[in-house]
Amino acid sequence: MRPLRALGAAALTLALTLTAACGGANDDTSSGRDARGGGAITVQAANGTVTLPGVPKRIVSLSPTHTETLFAIGAGPQVVAVDEYSDHPADAPKTKLSGFKPNAEAIIGYKPDLVVLSDDLDGIVKALEKVKVPVLLEPAATRLEDAYDEIMDLGTATGRAEQARRLTDDMRRRIQQAVDSAKRAGASGGDPLTYYHELDEQLHSVTSKTFVGQVYALFGLRNIADDAQPSAGAYPQLSREHLLKSDPDLVFLADTKCCGQNAAAVGKRPGWSGLTAVKRGNVVELDDAVASRWGPRLPELVQAIADAVGKASAAR
**Of the candidate ranges 2-11, 76-85, 140-149, 215-224, the one whose mean pLDDT is the lowest:** 2-11
Average pLDDT over every residue of 172-189: 87
State whether residue 203 is helix, strand or coil.
coil
To 10 degrees, the CA torsion angle through 221, 222, 225, 229?
150
The CATH code of the domain at 188-314 is 3.40.50.1980
pLDDT at residue 37, rounded to an integer: 55
To 10 degrees, the CA torsion angle through 47, 53, 59, 60?
-40
Q: Which residues pair with 237 in a beta bridge?
A: 204
Contact between 6 and 258 under an 8 Å Cβ cutoff? The reply is: yes
Burial zone of 227 (CB within 10 Å; 0-12 exposed, 13-18 middle, 19+ buried): middle
First vs last Cα of the chain: how many Å apart?
Answer: 33
pLDDT greater than 50 at residue 24: no
pLDDT greater than 80 at residue 38: no
pLDDT at residue 187, rounded to an integer: 61
pLDDT greater than 60 at residue 11: no
Continuous H helices in the chain: 4-7, 9-16, 64-72, 104-108, 124-130, 144-157, 161-185, 211-217, 240-246, 256-259, 263-267, 276-279, 288-292, 298-314
User: In terms of residues, how long is the chain?
Assistant: 316
In this prediction, residue 6 has a pLDDT band, given cuts at 50, 70 and 90, of: very low
Burial zone of 257 (CB within 10 Å; 0-12 exposed, 13-18 middle, 19+ buried): middle
pLDDT at residue 186, rounded to an integer: 72
Domain boundaries, given as residue ranges, for the chain: 24-168, 188-314
Dist. CA 23–CA 232, nearest whole Å: 29
Q: Tell which residue, 153, 178, 143, 139, has the closest CA to residue 306.
A: 178
Do the two domains 24-168 and 188-314 of this chain adopt the same fold?
yes
pLDDT greater than 50 at residue 5: no
Average pLDDT over every residue of 286-315: 95
Dist. CA 93–CA 269, nearest whole Å: 40
pLDDT at residue 108, rounded to an integer: 98
Is it true that domain 24-168 has CATH number 3.40.50.1980? Answer: yes
The model's pLDDT over 44-80, given as tens digits with 9 standing for 90+, comes to 999 999 999 999 999 999 999 999 999 999 999 999 9
How much is the pTM?
0.87
**Of the candidate ranges 110-119, 130-139, 184-193, 196-205, the one whose mean pLDDT is the lowest:** 184-193
In this prediction, residue 184 has a pLDDT band, given cuts at 50, 70 and 90, of: confident
Parallel/antiparallel/unpaired status of strands 194-198 and 222-223: parallel
